[in-house]
Amino acid sequence: MYLDVVHLRAFYDLPLGRLLRSLIGAPIREMWPELNGQRLLGVGYAGPFMRPYLESAERAIAAMPAPQGAVSWPRERDSACTLVEDASLPFPDISFDRIMLVHALDHCSEPEAVLKEAWRLLSPGGRLIAVVPNRRGLWAQSELSPFGYGRPYSSGQLKDLLKSCEFNVVDDKEALFMPPSKARTILRAARTWEGIGRRIWPVFGGVLVVEAEKVVFQSLPADGKKSRLRVLRPVFIPEGVATGLKPVRAVRSQKTILSREVPEGS
């Protein structure tokens, strides 16, 4: 079940929300340093993590699901937000080069349908990033952030889901190693927690950040060689021409094509 968009926007305006936006945005920017001339779509509530690409991307559109609601995004320019049904996005095929799924797969009722729509919209070789709460992490057990609501995933579950929807996982990272807390001492040491967590207990990050590529299959012969189709067609052999073929018994039918003996008067 989706959270209300008003609550999501209010959370990311808070100090804790701004910190999470920075900590989760770091691995995203490692995967996608720049998107010059790329077409970017965000599904769910991805606006806070799409902001670094506003100036470089050809276009950036935030698709917010109807059960969640929509707000104007971005605030500093004309709105590029649209209200959508997550399993039936209102865009033509191959409309985008990159898709970002944040607060989407963990809140939607049909994750497979959302991923199939993402596959349809991506250009061949296009990529997506999915951000979901980690089942092993502490943030999935806490209600301090939106990652404490909805459906958490293990790394294996998310990768299997992506593969079943014809995506190839190319990179995966974790974020949010700090314990869920509003205490100032914890917030101040958040980046220290991130550095230590990545080295010591990487599988216990609060959030999974997975990048996957759209797979387009091409049918090939099983033996890897070009197949040849043999076409048999009748060949006229004049009488008395040596063919090098062994004589065969006469074939009796309405019309005799080739026989050892030619009847008189033929």
The residue to which tokens 């965000």 are assigned: 42
Beta-sheet strand order (sheet of 207-214): 81-84, 59-65, 39-44, 96-102, 122-133, 207-214, 167-175
pLDDT at 143: 94
* 54 has a pLDDT exceeding 70: yes
The residue to which tokens 């005799």 are assigned: 256
pLDDT at 242: 53
Average pLDDT of the chain, as a whole number: 86
pTM here is 0.80
Read off the tokens for 127. Answer: 């990529």
* 265 has a pLDDT exceeding 70: no
* 264 has a pLDDT exceeding 70: no
> Could you report the per-residue pLDDT of 199-230, keeping only the tens digit for each?
888 888 999 999 999 998 754 444 545 545 45
Whole-number Å distance between alpha carbons of 63 and 104:
10
User: What single-letter DSSP state applies at residue 163?
Assistant: H
* 240 has a pLDDT exceeding 70: no
Whole-number Å distance between alpha carbons of 144 and 178:
13
One CATH from 3.40.50.150, 3.40.1030.10, 3.40.710.10, 3.30.1330.10 for 5-214: 3.40.50.150
Kindly give, in sequence order, each residue whose CB lies less than 8 Å from that of residue 263, ignoring residues fewer than 6 positions away. none
User: pLDDT band for position 249 (50/70/90)?
Assistant: low
* 251 has a pLDDT exceeding 60: no
Instruction: Judge whether 260 and 248 are in contact, CB under 8 Å.
Output: yes
